[in-house]
Structure 1
């Protein structure tokens, strides 16, 4: 992919991000389709790598635990606190990120 195509994909994904209440994501969590992105990581870049099927980049992030499946404990915390998360869909996954103000 060329640099211009990379920029366009990044911009497209950026436009598809939104804040969403955790409660609306719980059914997808139950299906194992939600991935948490560490707050210090560019979620849009992660989505771009997933959309481009960049196995090396995603594998490295999994190893460093910069991205990971949501644990039951984390889901419970978000549910109890009515958490609002940033999210973007990269089928079949939903990436979520909690940002602290």
Structure 2
């Protein structure tokens, strides 16, 4: 059995920067969830792996997590930002646009 630190490290290792074009098919399939910048993407993914529905529901109610919107998809398609990060927690792909570090 893995502990919380090992799970966090495993998810962190599976998280990567990604181009919008690689996410488009997941958006079209309805499997792309947008994570607000205020949250830790790895922590959100961890809540999914632990099946912490209470926490996931709170984030959704607070509009910090939810299906990627048509507006977000259009914006990402137009800009193709290099600040998108994603992790797969089947059947979902969690995506977060991070602030640019310039």
TM range (shorter): over 0.9
Unaligned ranges ≥5, structure 1: none
| Secondary structure in structure 2 of the residue aligned to 1:48 | helix
In the alignment, what sits opposite 1:90? 89
Unaligned ranges ≥5, structure 2: none
Q: Distance in 2 between matches of 1:44 and 1:82?
A: 22
TM-score of the superposition, structure 1-length normalised?
0.93
Q: Distance in 1 between matches of 2:29 and 2:81?
A: 19
TM-score of the superposition, structure 2-length normalised?
0.93
Q: Distance in 2 between matches of 1:9 and 1:82?
A: 30
Aligned residues: 99
Give structure 1 regions of 4+ aligned residues with deviation exceeding 4 angstroms.
Answer: none
Shift of 1:83: 2.1
Shift of 1:80: 0.6
